[in-house]
Amino acid sequence: MTKIAYVDKDNCTSCNQCADNLPKYFQMDDNDTSETHIGGESVNQAQIPEADWKTVQKEMDECPGECIHWRK
């Protein structure tokens, strides 16, 4: 089972925290806002394997802009 993570770019503070801490799933775009990815693909629709849910959730919880979410 997987969950899909995305960034609400309108609320991103461009702090780079998620991209610095977890580049496996987060990167900064050309406008210096965060987005999720899987190997550069599935941009802002990253399917996160269950083994990494807690790691990604930690970035969500620590995000200053509170802009990283699970897609429902």
Residue-wise pLDDT tens digits, 31-63: 999 999 999 999 999 999 999 999 999 999 999
Selection from 63, 70, 61 nearest residue 20 by Cα = 63
Both structure tokens of 15: 């702090």
Determine the pLDDT at residue 1.
75
Determine the pLDDT at residue 2.
78
Whether the per-residue pLDDT at 16 is higher than 80: the answer is yes
Selection from 46, 47, 16 nearest residue 31 by Cα = 16
Tokens 């394997």 belong to: 49
Could you state, in order of their start, the residue ranges of all structural domains in the chain?
2-66
CATH 3.30.70.20 fits 2-66, yes or no: yes
